[in-house]
């Protein structure tokens, strides 16, 4: 499976932590090559590397991008500067999103085995990292409840004719297994390994619907249970008419606010800074301890 993907100019020693470091979390961010501004904002806000005060979890953020001839030189300059971008040898377009996501799992499994916790995120979101860390440290025991944690969708029909079309040859069932909304979901390194192992199953194709493929089809093949963030009252929302900072001010259980890109509108990642200030204020935390 590893030979299926090429990792171009990957960061060296980014996961250079002892294998017994139980409190090491890697944040895997799927990003488009051209989304330089979104990556910049993430580095300055919820994706900063290190440890926050009052938390024992060390955070390392890694961005996975596809190949784009128009952005490739700039991406490689970015990698030299920040050492946190993995360029996958996969075209940067929608039919290959699931391939890029699978590649990120493979990279994490083989090149970052010391990461005991994995959070997979899109690049156009703002995450209350403090709420996530609190949940992990107080509410998740992967040794007893391994599986995938996210916002799950149920009884979704397999589309046969549109942008999301999947042929019967690719996936014969008419209904997808429960799968999570891909904006953000949580799992352990053991679950990551089981998902990668399931990808070697000979009786299925990689379909273009990344969320359904990774967290539905592969999860089911790997016999991994799922746990719904909705059951914990954690919420997500779109940045629509109301700015994200107002959503975070009014809902202490809000974990993620998405940019307008998720509803097909042009987004401005720098507007997330005001919302990040709200997150810092409501958590009474502002500084990393290294």
Q: How far apart are CA 89 and CA 68, in angstroms?
A: 10
Residues 7-64: pLDDT tens digits? 987 776 788 766 555 589 999 999 999 999 999 999 999 999 988 877 889 999 999 9
Instruction: Name the one residue in this structure whose structure tokens are 């999570």.
Output: 180
Q: What are phi and psi of 30, to 5 degrees?
A: -80, 125
Is the confidence at residue 2, as pLDDT, over 70?
no
Closest-CA residue to 186 (of 53, 25, 72):
25
DSSP of 4-41: G--EESPPSSTT-S-TT-TTEEEEEEE--TT-HHHHHH
| pLDDT at residue 232 in the model | 74
Q: How far apart are CA 191 and CA 187, in angstroms?
A: 6
Confidence of residue 88 (pLDDT cuts 50, 70, 90): very high
Helices (H) and strands (E) in the chain, counts: 9, 15
Q: What is the pLDDT of residues 134-191, one digit of tens each?
A: 999 887 777 677 899 999 999 999 988 887 788 888 888 999 999 999 899 999 999 9
118 versus 161: the higher-pLDDT residue is: 118
Instruction: Work out the percent of the chain whose per-residue pLDDT is above 70.
Output: 90
| Per-range mean pLDDT, top range of 88-97, 237-246, 256-265 | 88-97
What pLDDT, on a 0 to 100 scale, did the predictor assign at position 263? 63
Burial class (CB in 10 A: 0-12, 13-18, 19+), 160: exposed
CA distance 84 to 14: 7
Model confidence band, residue 290 (pLDDT cutoffs 50, 70, 90): very low
Identify each DSSP E strand in the chain by its residue range.
7-8, 24-30, 51-52, 58-67, 85-91, 117-122, 125-127, 148-150, 152-153, 179-180, 184-188, 226-228, 235-238, 254-258, 288-289
Tell me the domains of the chain and their CATH numbers.
2-11+21-235 (3.90.550)
* DSSP state, residue 175: B
Asked whether residue 223 carries a pLDDT value surpassing 90, the answer given is: yes
Report, as an integer, the average pLDDT of 195-222. Answer: 89
pLDDT score at 237: 80
Radius of gyration of the chain (CA): 18
pLDDT at 68 over 90: yes
How far is the C-alpha of 212 from the C-alpha of 98, rounded, in Å? 9
Q: Give the pLDDT band (50/70/90) at residue 234.
A: confident
pLDDT value for 205: 81
Q: Which residue has the higher pLDDT, 236 or 68?
A: 68
């Amino acid at each position: 499976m590893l030979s299926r993907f090429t990792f171009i100019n990957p960061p060296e020693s980014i996961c250079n932590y002892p294998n017994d470091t139980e409190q090491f979390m890697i944040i895997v961010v799927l990003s488009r090559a051209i989304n330089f501004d979104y990556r910049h904002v993430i580095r300055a806000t919820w994706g900063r590397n290190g440890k926050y005060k009052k938390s024992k979890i060390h955070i390392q953020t890694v961005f996975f991008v596809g190949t784009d001839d128009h952005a490739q030189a700039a991406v490689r300059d970015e990698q030299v500067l920040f050492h946190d971008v993995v360029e996958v040898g996969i075209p940067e377009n929608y039919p290959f999103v699931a391939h890029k996501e699978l590649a990120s799992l493979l990279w994490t499994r083989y090149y970052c085995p010391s990461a005991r916790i994995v959070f997979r995120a899109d690049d156009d979101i703002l995450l209350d990292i403090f709420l996530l860390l609190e949940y992990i440290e107080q509410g998740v025991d992967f040794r007893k409840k391994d599986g995938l944690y996210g916002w799950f969708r149920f009884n979704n029909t397999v589309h046969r004719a549109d942008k999301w079309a999947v042929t019967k040859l690719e996936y014969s069932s008419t209904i997808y297994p429960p799968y999570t909304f891909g904006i953000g979901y949580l799992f352990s390194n053991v679950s990551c390994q089981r998902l990668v192992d399931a990808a070697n199953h000979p009786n299925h194709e990689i379909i273009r619907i990344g969320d359904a493929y990774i967290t539905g089809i592969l999860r089911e093949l790997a016999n991994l249970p799922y746990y719904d963030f909705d059951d914990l009252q954690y919420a997500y929302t779109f940045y629509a008419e109301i700015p994200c900072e107002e959503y975070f001010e009014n809902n202490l259980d809000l974990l993620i606010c998405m940019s307008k890109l998720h509803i097909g509108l042009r987004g401005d990642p720098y507007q997330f800074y005001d919302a990040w200030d709200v997150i810092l204020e409501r958590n009474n935390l502002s500084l990393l301890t290294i």
